[in-house]
Amino acid sequence: MTPDNEVRFRACLDDVAAYKPGRPPARTDGRPTYKLSSNENPYPPLPGVLAAATEAAAQMNRYPDMGCVELLEALSARFGVPVSDLAVGTGSVALLYHLLQATVSEGDEVVYAWRSFEAYPIAVQLTGATSVQVPLTADARHDFKAMEAAITERTKVVLVCTPNNPTGPVVRRNELLAFLDVVPSNVLVVVDEAYREFVRETEVVDGVELYRERPNVLVLRTFSKAYGLAGFRVGYAIGHPEVVGAIRKCALPFGVSYVAQAAAIASLAVEEELLERVDALVVERARVVGALRAAGWDVPESETNFVWLELGDDTVKFAEAVQAEGVSVRPFPGDGVRVTIGESEANDLFLGVARAWRQ
Ligand SMILES: Cc1ncc(COP(=O)(O)O)c(C=O)c1O
Give the Å distance between the CA of 153 and the centre of ligand 1. 29
Give the Å distance between the CA of 5 and the centre of ligand 1. 39
pLDDT for the residue numbered 2: 62
Measuring from atom 8 of ligand 1, which residue has the nearest CA? 91
Whether the predicted pLDDT of 267 surpasses 80 = yes
Question: What's the per-residue H, E or C state across 63-108?
Answer: CCCCCCHHHHHHHHHHHCCCHHHEEEECCHHHHHHHHHHHHCCCCC
pLDDT for the residue numbered 4: 79
Measured CA to CA, the distance from residue 216 to residue 158 in angstroms comes to 10
Query: Which residues lie below 8 Å from residue 54, measured CB to CB, with a gap of 6+?
Result: none
Measured CA to CA, the distance from residue 208 to residue 24 in angstroms comes to 34
What's the whole-number mean pLDDT along residues 152-162? 98
For residue 113, the cross-strand partners are 134
Per DSSP (E only), the strands in the chain are 34-35, 86-89, 109-114, 130-135, 155-161, 188-192, 217-222, 235-238, 306-310, 327-328, 330-332, 336-340
Question: Which tens digit of pLDDT belongs to each residue from 211-220?
Answer: 999 999 999 9
pLDDT for the residue numbered 20: 78
The band of 42, judged by pLDDT with boundaries at 50, 70 and 90, is very high
What's the whole-number mean pLDDT along residues 3-24? 84
Question: Which tens digit of pLDDT belongs to each residue from 107-146?
Answer: 999 999 999 999 999 999 999 999 999 999 999 999 999 9
The band of 100, judged by pLDDT with boundaries at 50, 70 and 90, is very high
Give the chain's domains with CATH numbers: 21-45+270-358 (3.90.1150.10), 47-268 (3.40.640.10)
Give the Å distance between the CA of 2 and the centre of ligand 1. 36
pLDDT for the residue numbered 335: 96
Whether the predicted pLDDT of 90 surpasses 80 = yes
Measured CA to CA, the distance from residue 169 to residue 141 in angstroms comes to 6
Measured CA to CA, the distance from residue 94 to residue 306 in angstroms comes to 22
Burial class (CB in 10 A: 0-12, 13-18, 19+), 352: middle
Instruction: Judge contact between 307 and 299, C-beta under 8 A.
Output: yes
Whether the predicted pLDDT of 296 surpasses 90 = yes
What's the whole-number mean pLDDT along residues 160-184? 98
Give the Å distance between the CA of 230 and the centre of ligand 1. 9
Assign 3-state DSSP to the chain and report helix, strand, coil percentages, each to 5: 40, 15, 40
Whether the predicted pLDDT of 304 surpasses 90 = yes
pLDDT for the residue numbered 235: 98
Which atom, in ligand 1's list, is nearest to the CA of 94? 9
Measured CA to CA, the distance from residue 15 to residue 356 in angstroms comes to 39
Which atom, in ligand 1's list, is nearest to the CA of 234? 11
Whether the predicted pLDDT of 59 surpasses 90 = yes
Q: Which residue among 92, 198, 307 has the greatest number of ligand 1 atoms within 8 angstroms of its CB, and so is best to mutate?
A: 92
pLDDT for the residue numbered 69: 96
Whether the predicted pLDDT of 14 surpasses 90 = no
Whether the predicted pLDDT of 51 surpasses 70 = yes
Collapsed DSSP state (helix, strand, coil) of residue 221 = strand
Q: Which residue among 192, 196, 256, 306 has the greatest number of ligand 1 atoms within 8 angstroms of its CB, and so is best to mutate?
A: 192
Rg value, the chain, Cα: 21
Whether the predicted pLDDT of 1 surpasses 70 = no
Q: How many CA atoms lie within 13 A of 257 on its CB side?
A: 17
Mean pLDDT is lowest, of 16-25, 169-178, 179-188, for 16-25
Query: Which residues lie below 8 Å from residue 323, measured CB to CB, with a gap of 6+?
Result: 23, 25, 26, 329
Q: How far apart are the first and last CA of the chain?
A: 54
Instruction: Judge contact between 247 and 237, C-beta under 8 A.
Output: yes
Q: Which residue among 88, 117, 330 has the greatest number of ligand 1 atoms within 8 angstroms of its CB, and so is best to mutate?
A: 117
For residue 159, the cross-strand partners are 112, 190
Q: Which residue among 222, 302, 339 has the greatest number of ligand 1 atoms within 8 angstroms of its CB, and so is best to mutate?
A: 222
Query: Which residues lie below 8 Å from residue 85, measured CB to CB, with a gap of 6+?
Result: 211, 238, 239, 240, 241, 244
Which amino acids bring their CB within 6 angstroms of ligand 1?
Answer: 39, 91-93, 117, 161, 165, 192, 194, 222, 224, 230, 235
Give the Å distance between the CA of 232 and the centre of ligand 1. 13
pLDDT for the residue numbered 28: 66
What's the whole-number mean pLDDT along residues 318-336? 96
Amino acid letter at 275?
L
Whether the predicted pLDDT of 174 surpasses 80 = yes
pLDDT for the residue numbered 359: 86
Handedness of CA 192, 197, 200, 204 (dihedral sign): positive
Query: Which residues lie below 8 Å from residue 23, measured CB to CB, with a gap of 6+?
Result: 35, 37, 323, 328, 330
